[in-house]
Amino acid sequence: MKAKPKFIGVPTSLYDYFANHLEDKLFRYKILGLANIIEIINHMNIKYQSQQMEIQDLKNEMHKGIFRIIDLFILPKAIPENLCDLTELDWIEPKNQKKCFYEA
C-alpha cells in the first residue's frame, strides 16, 4: 500500500478518490489528451495575438491548428482533406472507430 502524503486541507477520502483516478490508465490518457489540446490552443493563441500574422493567413492557420488536434486522436490515413467530411462519418460505429482511431 502506498503511503499517503499529508496535504493540508485534503481529506483522506478525497485523496483516495484522486489517487484511484490517477492510477487509472484511461483517465491518464484523457489527461494527456487534454494537456496536448491545451498546448496546441495556447500555441495558436500566441500566434493569433502576435502582430506578425497577416489576415489572409488566418484560415490556413486555423486549419493547421484543427489538423494538429485531429492528429492526436485520428490516424493520419483516416483524416480527410476536407474537414466537413469528418461530420459525415458514423463515429459510433465500432468498425469506423477501429479504422480511424489510435489504439491505447
For residue 16, the model assigns a pLDDT of: 81
Q: Are 18 and 39 in contact (CB under 8 A)?
A: no
pTM (two decimals): 0.70
pLDDT for 73-84, tens place per residue?
899 888 888 888
Dist. CA 16–CA 90, nearest whole Å: 38
Dist. CA 4–CA 100, nearest whole Å: 41
- Closest among 74, 79, 76 to 102, alpha carbons compared: 74
Q: Are 40 and 48 in contact (CB under 8 A)?
A: no
Query: What cell does 1 get?
Result: 500500500
Mean pLDDT over residues 29-46, rounded?
A: 93
Parse the chain into domains and list their residue ranges.
12-100
pLDDT-derived band of residue 4, with 50, 70 and 90 as boundaries?
A: low
